[in-house]
Structure 1
């Protein structure tokens, strides 16, 4: 009988980068061979010490990468985040604790750096709760049946005096970062974007190794000339048997920093000749889109799922970073099996600020650190979690107090995959 050898988990070196990428492609069921152009593009993401690999002999069999990120919290402030991506374990080495070892190493380093939270987009729901992560935002995708939407197909320009123009990738690289920064200041759950993000979405850098085809880019200017919206979309070429157009426009990303910009961009997309379906891409679950249409039922939900997962590394810093519309106090007992940030905390909060300090007082609400993450950005309900048996009230009504403090009028949303 063959014997398993000890698998070494460590930060990779530059020399090991090609093998690490081969394992990464294998884990995500992509062709194992990595094109040189793709490899060079990925090298721009490489930060010494932040890309971990598990090695069985000389072969990389698991991958893990983290990088610096800013996450917007309720009220428009930001916290430092340890963003986690590229997590794979090769099928030959499953169930050996490799992810657990890589995760523990990375989170300990993030805590030491002073990161307030860790973030990730979970490919599978059951994996990350055991590491203290909780689903903090939700994503929704719609497919709009354009003929049913009730819009005037003769639409030619925004009704508010603004204008719509097609632009190119250079315009997007110039205008996009500032526009996204405007959105991010207003949107809890949004994360920072790097220069590489904009370059890869406009064809300057090829991250996935497939031939680049330029999408359409469209810009909205308000009546006073200010740029308030940008979108990227692609179209297919599909016709029915009776020579009827059945084309689909698929939105890759859309930024509207005002309701007028959102309305104009969606109405433009629904007015393109031959387009019968508009696919929205990743949107907030309370996005304005359906109700920007005369018939909201024309926007059919095709996907709705958890999106950004958060792992709190510093309870006090996280709760003090956000704002609160209401006023109140509650004692939270936070259970953290990894021992990174558990304990009993007294939160006193109001419109003028918040204080979160360790306390010996009796707990009002007992909850896992992952459930606190789900509540922190305002999306989840403590009352609902109590009904599910995931949080426990030690004082009657404590869950309602937490909801009154933490829940928000608009839902948090992360526009990005990373």
Structure 2
């Protein structure tokens, strides 16, 4: 049976939203407010549907995104989202057709890479995507954490290094948040950009499909009064039969541009009266949180999983903008069945910059394009990928040299799901 795959038009957007809801196992009723809110922010030329006799049975969407690389430069990315296939039409090749069309358009535009957050792990490797960052969620038993919860709060001027914490609201977060977010992206790779609309949605200033509950906001300011970080969190209201509080504070967002802000905000959240447990939300795997606690055993890992998936479309555009702490030379033989990024490349890099050029020189490492992703932002060890059989070490010692050149002190962190 033949299915039509194409970009949708405005009249089909409501049906497209319904098909997406079906694929994500959400109630298949699309409120008018959802259509009115999302349509003006949707690039229909990048919103694909698969049609069976005029009915949409698969969805796919992409939009322009910027993602930070090592050293803080931005890569232009094709962010993939809204991918579904209705259960009546699975395993018919529909995702492959939509993905091929989107990646070809991204390559034609000159995008450096494509990104996505995978609902299921096994799906996207066959399209050249690999895991570029991981996320960890902790649950903290604050009764065991070891903080002195009887000391004055930082809002009274007793914060670290002279700073203070003030309760705030969404209006202020929309003002100070973007700059703080940019400062975090400047020192950690894998951070995807937040648009003005993203800040509106994240602070309840725009329509959301889920019922909105206003969180608590707190801003950390340095001794000079400069905002250096903020936290947004919600708390439940639970009491034991013995009339003891057993509440959980769930962190929605914690963005800290300085170590002092990060330490102070975590101590603040873990010291709130009546809070017995803190859920951290998505954090970098090397977050300071567990070791910040006087008793790190009070932090239990709830989730450790893949986060940002990266599909390299242009090797030079991904590896030239990032920074390198030491000098090194690598010849990468990249295999790409789709033909977007395949070839043999000479990477010459150092503290002064980097260049990537085609070469006929003997390869140091031979790898599939999907295995460029864990190397691009410095998260994974080439030595480990060789041990796993995912990379071929064509020259002795090349994997160790790659680790010296590519790995970074901070692991990449992608804080947002899109």
CA apart distance, 1:44 = 3.5
The equivalent residue for 1:11 is 7
1:340-359 equivalent positions in 2, closer than 5 A: 340-359=340-359
2:36 maps to which of 33, 37, 40: 40
Q: Which residue of 1 aligns with 2:315?
A: 315
Q: Is the counterpart of residue 134 in structure 1 residue 116 in structure 2?
A: no
Counterpart CA distance in 1 for 2:205 and 2:146 is 39
**Cα distance in 2 for residues equivalent to 1:215 and 1:195:** 19
- What is the CA–CA distance in structure 2 between the aligned matches of 1:305 and 1:145, rounded to whole Å? 22
Alpha-carbon offset, residue 96 of structure 1 = 0.4
Structure 1 residue 363 and structure 2 residue 363: aligned? yes
Task: Write the distance in 2 (CA, Å) between the matches of 1:96 and 1:195.
Answer: 38
Task: Tell me what 2:61 maps to.
Answer: 65
Cα distance in 2 for partners of 1:170, 1:35 equals 27
Q: Within 1, Cα distance between the matches of 2:40 and 2:21?
A: 17
Q: Determine the C-alpha separation between the residues in 1 that align with 2:99 and 2:160.
A: 51
- Give the aligned length: 413
2:408 is aligned to 408
In 1: Cα distance, 2:211 partner to 2:192 partner: 28
For 1:44 and 1:266, the matched residues in 2 are separated by 38
Q: 2 CA distance for matches of 1:183 and 1:363?
A: 36
1:147–1:276 Cα contact (<8 Å) kept: yes
Q: Is the 8 A contact 1:263 1:292 kept in 2?
A: yes
In structure 2, how many angstroms separate the alpha carbons of the residues matched to 1:20 and 1:45?
15
Q: 2 CA distance for matches of 1:40 and 1:212? A: 18
What is the alpha-carbon distance in structure 1 between the residues aligned to residue 256 and residue 297 of structure 2? Answer: 22
For normalisation by structure 2, the TM-score amounts to: 0.97
More displaced stretch, 51-60 vs 281-290: 51-60
2 CA distance for matches of 1:283 and 1:36?
35
Tell me the TM-score normalized by structure 1. Answer: 0.97
CA deviations 1:88-140 (Å, max 9, x no partner) are 11110000000000000000000000000100011111000000000000100
Q: CA deviation at 1:62?
A: 0.7
Q: Is the 8 A contact 2:138 2:301 kept in 1?
A: yes
The answer as to whether partners of 1:42 and 1:207 remain within 8 angstroms in 2 is: no
Contact 1:377 1:407 in 2 (8 A): yes
2:177 is the counterpart of 1:173: no
Task: Tell me which residue corresponds to 1:298.
Answer: 298
Given that 2:160 and 2:260 are in contact with CA atoms closer than 8 Å, whether structure 1 keeps it comes out as: no
The equivalent residue for 2:70 is 74
- In structure 1, how many angstroms separate the alpha carbons of the residues matched to 2:175 and 2:361? 53
The corresponding residue for 2:164 is 163
Cα distance in 1, alignment partners of residues 45 and 390 from structure 2? 36
User: What pairs up with 1:205-216 in 2 under 5 angstroms?
Assistant: 205-208=206-209, 210-216=210-216
Which whole-Å CA distance do the structure 2 matches of 1:351 and 1:188 have between them? Answer: 17
Is 1:245 matched with 2:245? yes
Q: CA deviation at 1:38?
A: 1.9
What is residue 183 of structure 1 aligned with on the other side? 184
- Cα offsets for 1:27-54 (capped at 9, x unmatched): 1111010112222222233113111111
Could you say what secondary structure the match of 1:160 adopts? helix
Aligned-partner Cα distance in 2 for 1:275–1:374: 38
Deviation at 1:58, TM superposition (A): 2.0
Identify which of 14, 17, 30 aligns with 2:26.
30
Mapped to 1, the partners of 2:304 and 2:338 lie a distance apart of: 30
What is the CA-CA distance between 1:175 and the residue it aligns to? 1.4
Asked if 1:113 is matched to 2:109, the reply is: yes
- Given that residues 231 and 251 in structure 1 are in contact (C-alpha distance below 8 angstroms), is that contact kept between their aligned partners in structure 2? yes
Partner of 2:50: 54
Deviation at 1:207? 2.6
Unpaired runs of at least 5, structure 2? none
1:237-286 Cα deviation digits (max 9, x unpaired): 11112111110000001101101101111111111111000000000000
Where does 1:138-149 land on structure 2 (aligned, <5 Å)? Answer: 138-149=134-145
Per-residue deviation, 1:178 = 1.6
Please name the residue that 2:200 is paired with.
Answer: 199
